[in-house]
Structure 1
Amino acid sequence: MTGSILPAQFLSRRAVPELLLAGVIGGVFAGSLANHFVYDDNVLIVHNPTVQSLASWSKAFVVSYYPGLSYYRPIGLLSYMLDYAVWGPRAVGFHLTNLVLHMAASILVFRLFRRLIPQAGITFAWWGALLFAVHPISSSVVYPITAREAIWCVIFSVGGVLLFLRRTQPAGAASLLCFALALLSKEPAVALPFCLLAIDYGLRAADESPGSRRAVREAIGTHGPYFALLAGYLLVRLFVLPVRDESRGSPAGPGTFLWSWLYLPQTLLLPTVQLIYEPALQTWLSPIKLAIVGAAVLAVTVLLLRAMPAVKRQAFAWLGWSAFSFLATANVVPQETRWDERYLFMPAIGIVGFVLTLAVACEPKRGWRRSARAVVSLAACAVLAVISVGRSRFWHDNEAFLRQWLAHAPDRTNPNYGLAGVLEKKGLKEQAILHYRRALQTEPDHQDSRLNLGIALADLGRLDEAMQQFDEALRYHPQEPKVHFNKGLILEKTGDAAGAAAEYRRAIQLNPRYADARNNLGLLLGRAGDFEGAVAQFRLALEADPKFVKAYNNLAVGLVGQGAYRQAIRALRDGLGIAPEDLSLARNLARLLAKCPDPTLRRGPEAIELAGRVVRRAGRDDAAALEVLAAAHAEAGRFAEALTIIDHALRAAESAGQFGLAEQCRSARSLYAARQRYQGPP
């Protein structure tokens, strides 16, 4: 590795190695800056109000990191809050943070190699850090924004080890703080106390037994605080995240545990060119690759036997790091998914450290062999970097990611469901329906796929098929209010108002704060003349969701039906306070202020301003808006303007085939021609 490609004299300058390492990383992963929010990014950032305000920073410490999963990762949530405060909903800033964090993590790994493998020198340590930094495993935590908790975990874990190795009291306290932050970043940090034990073993003098009384006393004094902190963290997790059955984890077992230890070396030694996200066993398992890995392990074992006892402790310390840090995601307990590259990010440090230790011990004496190994090392890093660069395209956006996932797992529920949602947003409902059906083939009780399939069918007018899907959804999930609500929508479309009302009431019974169900029930009651019941439902809808704009409009209509004009005006003003740009609210408030049966509540000038705003934004051929604007001018005593505008409204209504509105315009014109204000219902 030390040939003439990167001379040690060049790399020995204080900041050059780290700056050069950061520059290479920046070049490899720069493509991420053009990518968007992808998959879990949408759940944790785009649609997560908690991270969109720094004022809610304390919530990061009392909520699960991901809905329905027992993950406690406040550091990740806090970092998203800071990014959102700086960048808003622009993905480029979040990707830039990931890139900078990966640079920092890789620089710390470089320092760790220098500290724990002093015989390697700067050049070996730099090559090792570069191998770690550009390996495709790293791409799986750099490209997806919400995989950054793995980077935070490495930063604080490696930083904690470096501080621990200083062996001073202030550094020890700082090391414990880093361990605490690592624990708050991602669960694999629980391995750090065990990694420190392995490192201590590697640094211990060859003639000193780790089981001696002196060694045991030192170990208790040195490592005890880390295990105490670990125990405290586990208690906090139990308090914040009580045990529950919501996890979507894959079952653990001896088989999956053993397969995990084959997945680790195969993926590190022979990574795939294409992204294979959360692969199944039959997808990643390759007899040919395992044979190559077996041969490599055999060769490494021979080298290790040749190098011992000189590097025995160091080598086993690095293997201990890798093993301990991998245990948390090696299917010892049920976990989110059985295998994925992101699980190997921290264990990879130990494997690279082990390889560096052997490489130094077996350093060729002849110059040409050293140069040849340097060329091979450079070629290996270049190949890994090219793979990582190429993987950026798979993380460009949701569609690219989900299609790549499905290319290797066409029957998986999550990517089919996710891609169906993407296609629906693009208006490709038939294609979306196909993927919803594929998702349900694998998981017939997948609630969201069944519900969204029914909604998509209903949107296409296939109401009978939609109703079948909703009935099937209720067979699996009889207590799901959204299904009852959507059944109500279909019944309403078919003219079964009583059946629709019953479904809305059932949805409300299951979820009393279901604002949409209350709003729709209120509309049905209003059409039946039960304004009192309608108003009650609209008020409850707004109590459940104070930002539900349509409910303000509907509440005002219900209040007008009761003759409560003052309250109706107040409801519309409240709605405009929430949504000042809403044209429907502005139009209805202008109508009441210009045409209210109670003349004491009319406000002509304000009605002109509101109706004028609506006409300017809705267009000068909006007959309804023009009719209200004419009434507002008449109320203000500006009858000439009222006549001009009502004539325009009449022509627009006739042109649009709105004959009822046209007749209303003719009646109003007669009043304005006689210099009379509007009379009649609002």
Structure 2
Amino acid sequence: MEDKVGRDTRRVALICALLAAVTLATFWPVRRHEFINYDDDQYVTTNPHVLGGLTPQNIAWAFNVGYASNWHPLTWLSHILDVQLFGVKSGPQHLVNVLFHTANAVLLFLLLWHLSAALWRSAMVAALFALHPLHVESVAWLAERKDVLSTFFFLLTLWAYARYVESAQRHDHAEKPGLQVARGLRSFTGRWYGLALLFFALGLMSKPMLVSVPFVLLLLDFWPLQRSRSTLPAGLNQVGASGEPVGASGASGSLGTPPSGGSGRQRRSLARWLSARFSEFKTPVLPLLFEKVPFLALAIASSVLTFVAQKKGHAVALWMPLSVRVANAIASVWKYLAKTFWPTNLAIFYPHPDLAVNLPHPAGSPPSFQWPAWLIMLAALLLVIVSVAVLRSRQRQPWLATGWFWYLVTLGPAIGIVQVGGQAMADRYTYIPSIGIFILVVWTASESLSGWRASGVLLRAASALVLGACVVLSHKQLHYWRNNSTLWEHALAITTCNYTAEIGLGLELLQEGKAEQSIALFEKAIAHAPFYPPGHFGLADALGKSGKNEEAVEEYKAGLRLDPSNAVGHDSFGLTLLRLGKADEALDQFDQAVFLAPDEPFAQNNLGLALSRKGKLDQAVLHFQAAVRLKPDYQDAVMHLAEALLKQGNLPLAQVWFNKLVQLRPADFQARVNLGVVLWRLGLRDQAEAQYTEALHLKPDDPAAHCALGDAFLAQDRLPEAAAQFAEARRLSPENSEALTGLGRALADQGKFAEAQGPFQEVVRLCPTNAMAQLNLANTLLMSGQTNPAQVAFHEASRLEPDLARKNLEAGVKLAAQGQLDAAVVRLRTALNLAPENPEAMVKLSWILATRPEPGARNGPEAVRLAERACQLNGGKDSRFWTTLAAAYAETGRLAEAVTSGEKALELAQAAGDQAAAGACQARLKTYRNALATSH
């Protein structure tokens, strides 16, 4: 018999090799699989700590509680190591999962063979584990690295525990049977016991589902280790690990027959009998329980950390009634069994039945996963009956109890009594529990056929057929995991009301640019689960990409009402508000996103972007720096940081970050142009020219590229070169309004107003409703001395954009405050040309013309004319206007009038209670009086 076969090293090695080869061959296609948009982003593709590689900071982060609603630091470290070794490539990382799964299959075979000496049975259980379609999810889904990694340490824990038991038994073999376990306890601090605890701790740090290990160890003590049988009375049946009777057996095969009868003496006799029976078990059982206390302590600690993490991440569905969770748990026990024996219609997500209550379903039928109450009760009763039956057969067929309770105990943490997420069940939850079922089935089948003459042939044929079917079904299931589209489309095809699949496919379509199609899916998801925030956020994203920003705002609000702590929701909402021009509201959303997720680089970058647009460059730079610190290769953040530093005038640092950007984006035209601008301003002209040359090589025939380079030359006052670039862009695209406008500006800034008129007139012809085009033409005509046509153009520009004068006035004031007086004068003159009777524009321009530091740039007569007219329009009620007029008079030498105007300004300031203005007026008035006295 196979159970009598010695431990042939060559056969074991051959089985290990064959098992590994078939497993690798079956799962090898995952090397071409893509990342999945369901948890893979959180675990790898958008996780800044994982993407940052093995650094002390990221290693420390891995031990934090709460990220992704879990505490599994070893899993995080494995993902970080993947990125360190392979970069952000899905293929190699998927293969790491396959390698762990293969190692698990081989370990399982070696463990069972070591425990039972049943070579082929152990091989069959391991093969079923390796090839079963239910396990495809754990292997093909990168985010389920925690499954294969924790199982690796789970099996090592069982291996070390078995070695500990063996070493303890060898140490105690000379002792009396009743003292063996007790003596063994004295050595449980030894090497193998310590190693078992270490592997268990590592397993819990990979996935907390291993909390059931103490109970699994007790099951192994019962069978196949038979530790609780070592002191049983001789009249009890004992069955070996391979299934054969060991030692003497009683006629009844039970604990003996209790005395019968109903008298008092008989009842006392019954009590003595029960006491004797319990005393027989007291010695072996209690020490075995005590032996598991350190394992139980680790399990409790892990459970507490996990519950805190899941509650912190809002993954625990506390809103779901206990009765619903219990009903689903009972049903799931049998549904998992059904899928184990008939593994078809497997999906990444099975919606919870309670979520579909009272919702409309296709063709008016209820969802296929919803069981009626009477059936739940029947399932519970059947669960009790089966459990009692396997307990009653524990002496003759102990593997039934170990296999069945292995299944129940290891499934318990994920059965849904504590509901995490919205799924009713998940294929990945069977990864370890199914081993118990495989043991139960393989050992039972072998024992049932052991008396048949052709049992060997029959078992081999059945095994080949079953394993062949598993390979075919697993290969088919792997096909669905190729990418998001195949995965979610399959899930939608085989499930009902699957809002998660609708959202997943919607996100994929949105990523592909199919916003309208994704909107329909998100709307279905919201109809199926209106309380589920991701549906609202997905719809909002899709609406935003479709240009329906106002509708998107409402969906973001709906999502955030349901999940106010969703940092990504706040961040996306902020981007939509920014597109709508609501910068202040956007800033609030970005602030909230950074508060909720300070380690999220995208939130930091977007907050910096909003601050930059508000002109708060110092604060913006801090957030851009935080973003690139969290994600050093975050290209947008690097670009925004470099641009902000350029705006600040911090050229040395801007050069550093533009260099970094060029390294990250060597083919980025604009990055090279901006680097060229910085280098030119730093005086590194040869290097700047090299960047400009490289930029043109990247896009020699792109009008937009030539325009961008022209803008860069304009910013450096390299006007002839700018004109050449815009002219080339115009040649490549004759009706390119950007090229025509740039060419006109370059020519006008050189004083070539007549030549500039042509390009500006062409822009007006192409864009007759463009106010800026009219304004550019008007300024050029005015500078050419064509006053009347210029006034017509100014009037048309004002008609097209009534706020144009105000915008130019505000820009002029801002430029003056920054000390850019030439640019300020241009803006203020434009404002006056658009609104000739604007007293504010007059007084601002008059002040600059009368007081600017360069005497040669002043224009006293014009300043006097503007200030006098401003005072007339204002009615002489504002001290600022009289102050400006006094300065203009002083500039033209009309000191007496300057003193009179200054006194009027002082009087108005004092009347208004403006002490600061009054003080300034007194100082200037003193200067005028002194100058007047000196002139006499």
TM-score (norm 1): 0.80
Contact 1:134–1:384, Cα closer than 8 Å, also in 2: yes
Match of 1:394 among 467, 480, 505: 480
CA shift, 1:505, in A, is: 4.3
- TM-superposed CA distance for 1:12, in Å, is 6.1
Bigger mean CA offset, 125-134 vs 644-653: 644-653
Pair 1:516 & 2:606 matched: yes
**Matches for 1:356-505 after TM superposition, within 5 Å:** 356-409=442-495, 411-470=497-556, 472-473=558-559, 481-482=570-571, 485-486=574-575, 488-492=577-581, 500-505=582-587
The code of the aligned residue for 1:63 comes to N
SS of 1:328's equivalent in the other structure is helix
Mark the CA change 1:669 to 1:611 in structure 2 (over 3 Å): closer, same or farther: farther
Q: What residue number does 2:54 align with? A: 54
Q: Which runs of 5+ in 2 are unaligned?
A: 168-189, 234-277, 354-366, 596-602, 629-633, 753-821, 825-936
Name the SS of the counterpart of 2:11 in structure 1: coil
- Pair 1:112 & 2:111 matched: yes
Q: In 2 relative to 1, CA 11–268 (structure 1 residues): closer, same or farther, beyond 3 Å?
A: farther
State the distance in 2 between where 1:487 and 1:430 align: 17
Task: State the alpha-carbon separation in 2 of the partners of residues 111 and 365 from structure 1.
Answer: 27
Aligned with 1:259: secondary structure? Answer: helix
Change (3 A) 1:134 1:66: farther
1:147-546 equivalence runs, <5 A? 147-166=144-163, 167=165, 168=167, 169-202=190-223, 203-204=226-227, 205=229, 208=232, 212-216=281-285, 218-220=287-289, 222-234=291-303, 241=309, 243-244=311-312, 246-247=314-315, 249=317, 251=320, 252=322, 253-272=325-344, 274-275=346-347, 277-278=349-350, 280=352, 282-284=367-369, 309-311=395-397, 313-336=398-421, 337-409=423-495, 411-470=497-556, 472-473=558-559, 481-482=570-571, 485-486=574-575, 488-492=577-581, 500-507=582-589, 510-511=592-593, 515-517=605-607, 519-520=609-610, 522-523=612-613, 525=614, 533-536=615-618, 538-539=620-621, 541-542=623-624, 545-546=627-628
Aligned letter for 2:588? R
Measure how far apart 1:108 and its partner are: 1.7
Change in 2 beyond 3 A, CA 1:410/1:216: closer
Identify if the C-alpha distance between structure 1 residues 650 and 633 changes in structure 2 by more than 3 Å, giving closer, same or farther: farther
Structure 1 CA distance for aligned equivalents of residues 388 and 577 of structure 2: 71
Distance 1:285 1:153, change over 3 A: farther
Aligned-residue offset at 1:589: 5.1
Q: 2:424, 2:587 → 1: CA distance?
A: 42
Shift of residue 100, structure 1, vs aligned partner = 1.6
1:97 corresponds to: 96
Deviation track 1:495-536 (CA, whole Å, cap 9, x = no partner) reads xxxxx234234335545675435534643x5xxxxxxx4435
User: Are 1:74 and 2:73 an aligned pair?
Assistant: yes
Q: Is the 8 A contact 1:484 1:506 kept in 2?
A: no
Over 3 Å counting, the alpha-carbon distance change for 1:384 and 1:185 in structure 2 is same
User: Is 2:42 the counterpart of 1:43?
Assistant: yes
RMSD over equivalenced CA pairs, Å = 4.1
Q: Distance in 1 between matches of 2:594 and 2:10?
A: 68
Secondary structure of the equivalent of 1:332?
A: coil
Match of 2:696 in 1: 615
What one-letter code is carried by the residue in structure 1 that aligns with 2:503? Answer: Y
Residue number in structure 2 paired with 1:563:
none
Asked if residue 19 in structure 1 is aligned to residue 17 in structure 2, the reply is yes
Distance 1:476 1:171 in 2: 50
The residue that corresponds to 1:124 in the other structure is 121
- SS of match in other structure, 2:424: coil
Question: Which residue identity does 1:254 align to in structure 2?
Answer: V
Unpaired runs of 5+ in structure 1?
493-499, 526-532, 560-566, 672-679
Structure number with larger C-alpha Rg: 2
Three-state SS of the structure 2 residue aligned to 1:179 is helix
- Measured after TM superposition, the shift of residue 632 of structure 1 is 11
SS across alignment from 2:368: helix
* Contact 1:153/1:183 (<8 A) preserved: yes
Displacement, 1:310?
Answer: 3.2
Q: Secondary structure in 2 aligned to 1:338?
A: strand
Separation in structure 1 between the aligned mates of residue 459 and residue 200 of structure 2, nearest angstrom: 37
Q: Once the two structures are superposed, what CA deviation does each residue of 1:24-82 show, in whole Å capped at 9, x if it has no partner?
A: 21222222222222232232111112223011552354235752x2x222222222222
Q: Distance in 2 between matches of 1:506 and 1:96?
A: 43
User: How much has 1:213 moved relative to structure 2?
Assistant: 3.9
Offset at 1:11? Answer: 9.3
Matched-pair contact (CA < 8 Å) for 2:214–2:295 = yes
* Alpha-carbon distance, 1:374 to partner: 2.6
Match of 1:677 in 2: none
Q: Are residues 1:575 and 2:657 paired?
A: yes
2-side partners of 1:58 and 1:572: how far apart? 31
State how far apart, in whole Å, the 1-side matches of 2:87 and 2:740 are: 48
- The whole-number CA distance in structure 1 between the counterparts of 2:488 and 2:81 is 28
Give the Cα separation in 2 of the matches to 1:604 and 1:647: 23
CA distance in 2, matches of 1:469, 1:446: 12
Q: CA deviation at 1:415?
A: 2.0
The separation in 1 between residues aligned to 2:545 and 2:390, in whole angstroms, is 66
- Give the equivalent residue in structure 1 for 2:30: 32
AA aligned to 1:15 is: A
Task: Say if 1:420 and 1:436, in contact at 8 Å, map to a contact too.
Answer: yes
Q: Measure the CA separation in 1 of the matches of 2:302 and 2:385.
A: 41
Matched residues in 2 for 1:285 and 1:374: separation? Answer: 39
* 1:193 alignment partner, SS class: helix
Q: Does the Cα contact within 8 Å between 1:488 and 1:503 map onto a contact in 2?
A: yes
Quote the Cα distance in structure 1 between the aligned partners of 2:638 and 2:191: 56
Deviation at 1:306, TM superposition (A): 11
**1:260-298 per-position Cα deviation (integer Å, ceiling 9, x unaligned):** 2212321222221554633545435799x99xx99x999
| Equivalent residues, number | 631
1:63 aligns with 2:70: no
1:323 and 1:630, CA in 2 relative to 1: closer, same or farther beyond 3 A?
A: closer
Give the residue type in structure 1 aligned to 2:335.
Answer: Y
Percent of aligned pairs sharing the same letter: 21
Change (3 A) 1:193 1:578: same
Rounded to whole Å, the distance in 2 between the matches of 1:404 and 1:645 is 54
Shift of 1:200: 1.0
Higher alpha-carbon deviation: 206-215 or 423-432:
206-215
